[in-house]
Amino acid sequence: MSVFDSPAFESHEAVHAFHDAATGLKAIIAIHSTARGPAAGGCRMWPYPSDQAAIDDALRLSRAMSYKNAVADLDLGGGKSVIIGDSRTEKTPALFEAFGAAVEAVGGRYWTAEDVGVSPADLAASRRRTRFVAGLEGHPAASGDPSPITAEGIFRGIALCVRRAMQRDLEGVTVALQGVGHVGSILAGKLHAAGARLIITDVDEAALSAVARRTGAEIVPPGAIFDVEADVFAPCAMGGAISVETLARLRPRIIAGGANNQLATPEAGQALYEKGLLYAPDYVINGGGIINVAAEIRALEAGEAFDPSWVEAKLERLMGTLDEILGRSLAEARPTHAVANEIARARIAGGRG
């Protein structure tokens, strides 16, 4: 299958493949759109079963970044990179230096940051070969790890959804949290502090135990999270958690979490709507991290210091956009993801904000 035949291809501007024999780097950089500015999106390292799976993931993720950046009202386009490999056993500084050279070869049309399997420490090696890296520390423009801001946006979004659907705050609300990695563990702490009851799952047993000790959360096996009694289902692991099959098992009133590409298919989004569930579109509710990264890119380009107040203003506006999406979905009798896509496409077509 060619790139153009992939079901994830949607008028992408460019797809770059890079290989470095000395380090074993195999990477894909996908640029969906630069209509609003240079493409920005994290780098994911994952042991994909095939090159085609890696390409498809890069295409899906880069398109989602275009939508995410537009909905967050950022002067950035959408891009994403993936490195084919096991992040637990195949990481080396040399590999990430080679990845930095790949980013540099794209000529400033793409800014990278951390994503699944990649840490700011990894990207510090990439920074030796390119300046187009965000999410690092040690300079005045540094934004640091974007995970806490991502979690803060998801927390605010869940609270907004609970107010809309249940007319209450988070005290006593049960949240089924799928995934307690960087973002999920921070989100769990915020939900616990707000009085929510947590049911959690992850493939990482050590992470589960740590979160359960801090929050009193109930632990269930990964496959059982779809069957628990909960008010909110918060997918914060890999994508595709919401399918027609899992929807038949899910019982919450609200789906709101941090994972990218939560809907396995467009049909799942329609089925979710027809079931009467309130869904916070993933690339809207999880936009806090890219806002943080955008603040760093903005500061680096201007030669200024990082501005937390700019991040807070953008995050507040994003929550306003989420509220608008939920309201329009109700008023227009349309799924929330369809409303969000319409807003994102209009902003992309309009170019820079």
How does residue 136 score in pLDDT terms, banded at 50, 70 and 90?
confident
Q: How far apart are CA 136 and CA 115, in angstroms?
A: 13
Give the pLDDT score at 2. 78
Distances (CA, A) of 25 to 42, 203, 263: 17, 26, 30
Beta bridge partners of 39: 77, 110
Give the pLDDT score at 207. 95
Beta bridge partners of 33: 78
Active-site positions? 80
Q: How far apart are CA 130 and CA 123, in angstroms?
A: 10
Q: Where are the domains of the chain?
A: 3-65+77-126, 147-285+321-349
What is the chain's percent helix, strand, coil content, to nearest 5?
45, 15, 35
pTM of the predicted model as reported, rounded to 2 decimal places: 0.88
- What are residue 60's phi and psi, to 5 degrees? -60, -45
Give the pLDDT score at 353. 58
Question: In this predicted model, what pLDDT tens digit does every residue of 2-50 receive, in sequence order?
Answer: 788 787 788 899 999 999 999 999 999 999 999 999 999 999 999 999 9
Q: How far apart are CA 19 and CA 26, in angstroms?
A: 5
Which one is predicted more confidently, 261 or 96? 96
Whole-number average pLDDT of the chain: 94
- From the number of C-beta atoms within 10 Å of its C-beta (0-12, 13-18, 19+), residue 101 rates as middle
Same fold for the pair 3-65+77-126 and 147-285+321-349:
yes
Dihedral sign for Cα atoms in the order 224, 227, 231, 237: positive
Tokens found for residue 171: 């005290």
**Homologous superfamily of domain range 3-65+77-126:** Leucine Dehydrogenase, chain A, domain 1 (3.40.50.10860)
Lookup result for tokens 């940051």: 113
CATH number of 147-285+321-349: 3.40.50.720
Q: How far apart are CA 110 and CA 30, in angstroms?
A: 9
Give the pLDDT score at 233. 98
Q: How far apart are CA 233 and CA 225, in angstroms?
A: 9
Distances (CA, A) of 182 to 119, 151, 174, 272: 10, 9, 21, 27
In 3-state terms, what secondary structure has residue 185? helix
Contact 76, 69 (CB under 8 A): yes
